[in-house]
Amino acid sequence: MGILLAVLFACKRILEFLPNIELVTLLLIVYAYVFGKKTYIISVCFTILETFVWGVHNWVIMYLYIWPLLITVVLLTRRWAGYVFYTVLSGFYGLFFGLLCSIPYYFIGGIRMQLTWWIAGIPFDIIHCVSNFIIALVLYKPVLAVCKKAKIIMEGNID
């Protein structure tokens, strides 16, 4: 679990200079698909680590429901869903990321503030959507293969 968290955190830090281009969505999808409910712990620890780096801000609240929500979607769909579904989900998640993130602003300043905040960030959501889609399209299968192998090793089922 620690290694999975380290990979997640390292990928986030490496790509931080590119706005809204990240591997967190893909990794959490694959982690949830392969490792199941344990991914909730990874996502919470990831948020704690990010808070150590960047300090407490509104996004901490967002991260505490956004990533678990993604994990929940994967856990509910993993019996029948596969590569294409998760690639499209990844794109949708990037596109709706700003809208999901804007929820706390409803409680801070009402619907007007929430919508203004969301709409101002739409160009970044579109970048997020396209990049998430392409990243999942290219990396979903190899990352899934590595994680499946890691799970077999973790469970000691390898000769």
Partner 1 sequence: METKKKQFNLKMIIAAICALVLCVGVFAVVYSKFGPESKTTKGGKSIAIEVVGKDGKTSSYKLDTDAKFLKEAMDELVKATKDKSGDKKFTYSGSTSTYGLYIEKVNDVEANYDKDKAYWAIYVKEAPDKDFAYGQFGADQQPVTDKATYKFVYEKSEN
Could you list the residues that contact partner 1 (CB under 8 A)? 19, 84-85, 88, 91-92, 95, 112-113, 115-116, 119-120, 122-123, 125-126, 129-130, 133
Q: How far is the CB of 10 from partner 1 (least distance, A)?
A: 20
Q: Which is nearer to partner 1, 8 or 129 (CB)?
A: 129
Q: How far is the CB of 85 from partner 1 (least distance, A)?
A: 7
Q: How far is the CB of 152 from partner 1 (least distance, A)?
A: 28
Q: How far is the CB of 30 from partner 1 (least distance, A)?
A: 19
Q: Which is nearer to partner 1, 43 or 132 (CB)?
A: 132
CB-facing half-sphere around the CA of 89: CA atoms within 13 A = 23
